[in-house]
Amino acid sequence: MTVLQNCIKKISKDNCIWLMRQAGRYLPEFREIRSKNQDFIKLCLNENLSSEITIQPLRRFNIDAAIIFSDILLVPYALGQSVKFKKDFGPLLGEIDFNKMSKINEIEFIDKLKPVYNAIKKTKDQTELKNKDLIGFVGAPWTILVYMLNQRSPKNDDIELNLKDKKFIEDLLKVIVKFLKIHINNQIESGATIIQIFDSWAGLLNKKDYDKYIYNPTKDLVNFVKSKKIPVICFPKGVNDYKSYVSLVKPDVISIDYDVDPKKISDSIDITVQGGLDPKFLVGDKEELKTNVKKYLDIFKDKPYIFNLGHGVLPNTDPSMVDYLVKFVKNYS
């Protein structure tokens, strides 16, 4: 049993750690690859480079899991919606041709994403991953819906969502859930030992809409992952009621964002908790970082806890700070 799996199953006293976006933009070895591969979607679909990028942080740091280098927007891409990444802007998606999309079959979808599954197969046999987990992931149905409809990231309130066409939204959501399950299943069959569901834009919704767009469709995915006998982590960033989320969606692990009071989470939630640290502390000084890391480790000292961030590692992070963080967490008692 791996260190991370023991943390999830509440049978480990060892501190465990991995970081969201641990593979990527802050590492010089990644930037070297990226400079030669300008098309981000093509890079994600390069099974050799994707596997190499996934392993890079494990060569540097004593972390307990790899997370496959990929992107949640590969699902809309495989469903026929164009996806491009514009420098210093983010993703740009094309128009939805639902008639065409609704005719895509499982074989076509899998074929488009086969490099992702091949990358997982390549990665799981790497020596750096011995006795460690390989995390696969998907975007939650709501977050995928937001990107597909908005056609860009809704950060900075750059959002134009029209949820009034209820029939279209319901039909699109069904397609999204169907193919997210297919994507999850193929990641597991290729060697992923844990699945994380990223609901990056859960915070955009009013609580009255949680059942329809967050709780019910995400629970459908969670139940699917559980049926495969592997753990599932949910990260509903910005959701304002983690307790209700946990009781209704029932993930194995709840990953919290940096705006959440960790003490309140510790007092109200009885499943394994992950994350919380604001990634900005990794671009500050070591004393400030240590103080804030210690806060999380102390609050969750007697609870099952996976150390992680409340969002991804920032691009301007010095790898030496990540090294300091990992060593501090591993040695803290």
Closest CA to 2 of 19, 16, 22: 16
147 part of the active site = yes
Distance of alpha carbon 218 from its chain centroid, rounded?
14
CB within 8 Å of 39: residues ≥ 6 apart: none
Residue 78 near residue 112, CB atoms below 8 Å: yes
Backbone angles phi, psi at 285, to 5 degrees: -105, 165
Gap between the Cα atoms of 222 and 236, Å rounded = 13
25 part of the active site = yes
Output the CA angle 201-202-208, nearest 5 degrees. Answer: 140
Residue 310, judged by CB atoms within 10 A of its CB (0-12, 13-18, 19+), counts as buried
For the record, the structure tokens of 223 come out as: 């139940």
User: Exactly one of 147, 242, 296, 305 is catalytic; which is it?
Assistant: 147
Gap between the Cα atoms of 310 and 308, Å rounded = 7
- Measured between alpha carbons, how far is residue 232 from residues 31, 138, 192, 267 in Å? 30, 11, 11, 22
Tokens 């060593």: give the residue.
Answer: 327
Please report, in angstroms and rounded to a whole number, the separation of the first and last CA atoms in the chain.
22
21 part of the active site = yes
The helix (run of H) or strand (run of E) holding residue 92 is strand 90-93
User: Exactly one of 21, 26, 117, 257 is catalytic; which is it?
Assistant: 21
C-alpha atoms less than 13 angstroms from C-alpha of 79 in its C-beta half-sphere: 29
Gap between the Cα atoms of 114 and 187, Å rounded = 10
71 part of the active site = yes
Helix and strand totals (H; E) in the chain? 15, 10
User: Exactly one of 26, 64, 71, 245 is catalytic; which is it?
Assistant: 71
152 part of the active site = no
Q: Give the residue numbers marked as catalytic.
A: 21, 25, 34, 71, 147
